[in-house]
Structure 1
Amino acid sequence: MELKLKRQTMVEVLLDLEGCTRYGARFVDRSGQSTFYTYDEVLKRAKAVAATLQAGGLAPGDRVAIVLPTSIHFLDIFLGTQLAGGIPAALYPPVRLGRLSEYFARTQRMITKIGARLLVTDSRIRKLLGPAAEGASCLEKVLDVETLRSSAPFSPARPDPESPAFLQFSSGTTVEPKAVMISHVNLLANLEMIDTFFRRFSDKEAEQGGVCWLPLYHDMGLVGCMGIGLYHPGTVTYIGPEVFVAKPKIWLQTLSRYKALISPAPDFAYGLCLTKVKDADMEGVDLSNWKIALNGAEPIDVEGMLRFCDRFARWGFRREAMTPVYGLAEAGLAVTFSDPRVPPVVTEFDRDLLSEQGRAVPGKGRLLPSVGRPMQGLRVEIRDDQDQSLPEGWVGRIVVSGPSITRGYFNDPETTRKTIRNGWLDTGDLGFIHNGDLYIAGRAKDLIIIRGRNYAPQEIEEVLAGVEGLRTGCTVAVSQMIEGQGEQLVVLAERDIRSDRPEEEIQAEIRERIRSELALSPYHVEILEPGTLPRTSSGKMRRADALRMFLAGELLPPEKMNTIKMLKEIGKSQIAWGRFWLRRKRSQG
């Protein structure tokens, strides 16, 4: 069935929200208190920001880097930039304070990569951002989002539908950041796909809206929550990601309070609820209205997913609501969704055939969830290393084509050529088709090959789930080439500070589990301090970087931050800001 777009650009979608007072954006703070803005108010605020940007000289196509937490101010500047004809790019705020040097370097590279003329933040974050801005020679202005609403006249932009609606930095692990260009057509096509999927629910159910704690600099939060809320339209209730991580009960309580229909999350969030949410926290909570619990963005722990379904069934959660999905920024977001009207489809596959022959045959070994079938308008194929299509049941690279697929990466033609060929996006993921459904087998670049057998790192990491003394979800399996021995398995795992179990016992159990389950003998097992493993902006483990840092002796725990050290960082930032403004003055004079 052909996909029909109701609008050609996001600017048109936003202008359609004029007079929309039935739906809006709600923001919930740590205490559970909320503030609601109708979409008519959201549009008025965004128009005021757009007018200010235009009066300040923003030209069509100018890139605007945004470093803000989840708040109404994020919507102000992101949507305002689009209305003014600029191209917004959301960058992540400094959340890992013990890794500030790494953060500054990466943020500077991002700003430089896209040639951002403007950087928009708030007064609190700005205190720390000096080192990130100092070396970005493209930056001309640094603006405080709270001062951007003026009474200047506004003229809506008329962008080319094929021009970028925004730039989305991939959460990949490479040193060089990649900015995915999502055109207005790409964005609206994917939003229409998602909206079409939701139409299987009644208007009354759709009225219940959704809850989002995902960061808005991540595509799952930006497109899957904010974007679809504006497009449908429907009310979205936002919780800051830092609030969720500290108090995951707020997510479930908010879903209950507003009788929300949908809320997406990566798999770790469901595991966090299992360990951190107490029965007492669930008093009065009703999850029966939560019909779509999207589960994606990272490998799914099948047993953990099912434990979540079973435990929270007491409070009305239906197993059918758990909806494994697959997507990525380069596809606009959504690629495949499973059916939210039936329980998750989980199949056990013969581990030996998967590892040795790349064949997916039901049997004893590895439990994997189906992530469903392609969204309307998309095509998904499995291909081999010669780019030839593989039949059902064979593992290969997942490739996708359709109207939401990006044309490429901003200012990076080489990566674009490698990733997109003849309109097909090479996702870099390995998978297979079984009974018409897509299953994810791993990430091609992370594949571990030992004695001719292929192992996905997740396969090894899943075996170690529940080891006493390890932090949940904080283990990576990588491989190291050893002279005379070939490729060997290395396990890097963070310890749980709440456990006093001796390190030697933890290492012994890790070795025994891997030996008994996978017939592998780890070459080395390293127990690390909490927070040591490097992560992407979306919280995924950076396996290749972890191995590189380990081999170089650079895999060290984050610096412990206190008030004195924070004041020093702020002082260093102010000095960096001074150098930034001095450079700007010299370049203008």
Structure 2
Amino acid sequence: MVYLPSEYREVPPVDLLSWLFDNTGVDVEKDILIDAANHKRRLNSRQTISLIRKLIAGFRAVGLKPGDCVLVHAFNHILYPILYFGIIGSGGIFVSSNPSYKVTELSHLISIAQPKYAMVEAGLLTKISSALEASISAEQIYVFDPNAGQTVQKELKFWTSLLQYGEQDWIRFNEEAIAKSTIAVLQSTSGTTGLPKVAATSHYALVAAGVAIQCSKPKPKPYTVSRLISLPLFHSFGASFVQNSAFQSGEPTYVMRRFDAESFTSLVDRFNVTEIAVVPTMVASIVNQRTSPLVLKTLRRIWCAGSSLSPILSDAMYDILHQDACISQVWGMTEFGRITSSPWDRRTMDGSVGELTPNTEARVIDSHGLEILDEGVAGELQVRGPSTMNGYSRFHDATTGVSTADWLRTGDLGCVKRGNVYILGRMKELIKVRGWQVSPTELEQTLLLHESILDAAVIGVRFPTREFDGELPRAYVVIREGCFGIDEQEVQRFVRDRLASFKALDGGVVFVETIQRNAYGKIMRQPLMERAMAEITTNMTEAKI
């Protein structure tokens, strides 16, 4: 069965910047992007367009040609979208880089994207200089120093040197074939099962993604929209708010350099923020702060993506929100953009991640590769729509592996019921306990509600002496500094009191100093699995002795 969206919308076959900035009806003098750390630093549409046009002129003056890749390695800032649009508008390809990358990770990205130019935040240069110098000449590396004051080696130029060549218009086209074939962005995927791949996305796909998240004949919101975004702008979820909907809707958006729970909630209160976008670990941090409902009293909508928000964590968040606030779970992926969403006034209480976005179709496939015809039966979710990536850059075999005809394999286990999509977990991560499927994410989010637990990861383990049980959940837990008196039994009891018995941590609890995560903050489970195998083997050997 193919599940259809409630609405199909026309996708204009134009370049991204024309769609965003031409004739949107937004007041060009209204402040759109605001620096959360210094609210006096602001950008309206007129200023933004002027800076973009200057950057386009500068790139062309130094020799950037259509199709050249430009790497951007920086944390969030209100000027980050200027780099994004300036690169794309000049005909180049924006290559997003996680500013937390170390040399090896950045070298991998550079080997795939092969950028001709780089924009690097001043404070990050020293850490990654060897990766840059091996691939990009010094005269094509620009220092991004938005707050000024940094000193750098004299052969490098500041990005502002590109703003001295007047203004030029961005590339324009109004033809579907060109829009679909012209790549605008290269973005790394999460890479939890290996090295990250790089998704190549066209102008047409980015416009389609923007069209899908626009409000269609919206029911008026009974509040003034003011957003706070701390999600990384190099990632598609964060970019959808700052590089896309902020300028389309004209809604003021405060931008944080990076997330910090205490600062985040303080800013919500200070600026009367009504809408935020988060991932479950951010929700857990906010809840664990014991945040007063008075601090979050203005919040009315919370977008949550990254993984399904467990009912326990969702309820804990609702306990500190205003009675009119709604948590809207969102499902998406770098290779597609947002797949599902919910109306701003609909509370998500049953674990659903919402309805299919306009133009998005889905189906559910069983373990034999056959389409499941009955509603509500779980299998691998596959999607198709105009916002699908063109493919993985320089990895044709990888693209073939995730695409079947025009369907994109998501790798998520889920189902569709009454028009709502439900995600049960990653196909490769689910733990099978005595025939039951257990999501490690649900267990991790439950563990994070314990006041003494800072971080947690859960995997499935097998014990040779307990083959009948299949896999059993095993937790690796990081204790907060200064917390004492918590042991394995306390952690197991905490989970057992809140979840079904088959989700119990019968595979054990191991206390560790850190949880290894990739540059996108996702848990690296393979090293934990290898560690668990070694631990179980050692324990069995010692028992025999």
User: Which bin holds the TM-score, normalised by the shorter protein?
Assistant: 0.7 to 0.9
- The Cα shift of 1:5 comes to 2.9
Which is worse superposed, 481-490 or 446-455?
A: 481-490
Q: 1:250 aligns with which of 252, 260, 266?
A: 266
Shift of 1:524: 4.0
Give the corresponding residue for 2:286: 273
The answer to whether structure 1 residue 303 and structure 2 residue 320 are counterparts is no
**Corresponding residue for residue 97 of structure 1:** none
Q: CA deviation at 1:510?
A: 6.6
| Sequence identity (%) | 19
> Counterpart in 1 of 2:249?
232
Distance 1:124 1:334 in 2: 32
Residue 347 of structure 2 corresponds to which residue in structure 1? 343
In the TM superposition, residue 246 of structure 1 has moved relative to its aligned partner by 4.7
C-alpha separation in 2, matches of 1:382 and 1:458: 21
**Which is worse superposed, 393-402 or 488-497?**
488-497
Q: Partner residue of 2:333?
A: 328
Q: Name the SS for the 1:161 alignment partner.
A: helix
1:491 correspondence with 2:451? no
* SS of aligned partner of 1:52: helix
Structure 1 CA distance for aligned equivalents of residues 249 and 500 of structure 2: 50
> Which secondary structure does the structure 1 equivalent of 2:79 belong to?
helix
Question: What is the rounded CA distance, in whole Å, between the counterparts of 1:279 and 1:464 in structure 2?
Answer: 21
Structure 2 unaligned segments of length 5 or more: list them: 1-6, 145-158, 536-545
Please give the per-residue CA displacement for 1:433-471, whole angstroms capped at 9, x wherever unaligned: 223211111100112234444322224435545445322
C-alpha offsets along residues 63-116 of structure 1, whole Å, 9 cap, x if unaligned?
Answer: 11101111133122111101110010221113xxxxxxx722112111211111
Aligned with residue 231 of structure 2, among 214, 219, 223: 214
Match of 1:446 in 2: 429
Query: What residue identity is the alignment partner of 1:141?
Result: Q
**Does residue 1:425 correspond to 2:429, yes or no?**
no
Q: Secondary structure of the residue that 2:329 maps to in structure 1?
A: strand
* Letter in structure 1 aligned against 2:458: A
After the TM superposition, which of the residue ranges 543-552 and 404-413 deviates more from structure 2? 543-552
Change (3 A) 1:343 1:46: same
**8 Å CA contact 1:65, 1:89 repeated in 2:** yes
| Residue matched to 2:193 | 174
Residue type at the aligned position of 2:439: A
| Cα 1:71–1:449 shift into 2, 3 Å | same
Instruction: Normalising by structure 1, report the TM-score.
Output: 0.78
Alpha-carbon offset, residue 516 of structure 1: 7.0
Q: CA deviation at 1:158?
A: 3.7
Structure 2 counterpart SS, 1:425? strand
Q: Does 2:145 match 1:149? A: no
Contact 1:28–1:35 (Cα < 8 Å) also in 2:
yes
Q: RCO higher in 1 or 2 (8 Å CA, sep ≥ 6)?
A: 2
Q: CA deviation at 1:139?
A: 8.9
Question: 1:508: how far off?
Answer: 5.7
* Aligned position for 2:519: 537
Distance 1:379 1:142, change over 3 A: same
- The corresponding residue for 1:562 is none
Which residue, out of 452, 458, 463, partners 1:469? 452
State the match for 1:50 in structure 2. Answer: 56
Map Cα deviations across residues 549-569 of structure 1 (whole Å, 9 max, x no partner). 66679xxxxxxxxxxxxxxxx
How do residues 186-201 of structure 1 correspond to structure 2 at under 5 angstroms?
Answer: 186-197=205-216, 199-201=217-219
Shift of 1:528: 0.7
Given the alignment of the two structures, is residue 8 of structure 1 paired with residue 51 of structure 2, yes or no? no
Letter matched to residue 325 of structure 1: V
Q: Give the match for residue 566 of structure 1.
A: none
Distance in 2 separating the partners of 1:414 and 1:544: 23
Which residue identity lines up with residue 457 of structure 1 in the other structure? P
User: 1 or 2, which has the higher helix percentage?
Assistant: 1
- Of 391, 409, 421, the residue aligned with 1:408 is 391
Q: Is the CA contact 1:85–1:158 (under 8 Å) kept in the aligned structure 2?
A: no
Measured against aligned partners, the alpha-carbon deviations of 1:189-238 in whole angstroms (never above 9, x if no partner) come to 111111135x4143896x73533121101111112332111233433221
Distance 1:17 1:273, change over 3 A: farther
In 2: Cα distance, 1:373 partner to 1:2 partner:
13
Whole-angstrom CA distance in 2 between matches of 1:392 and 1:408: 30
Partner of 1:457: 440
> Within 2, Cα distance between the matches of 1:139 and 1:61?
20
Deviations 1:295-348 (A, max 9, x none): 2222202222223223222xxx514x22122111111x21111233232231xx
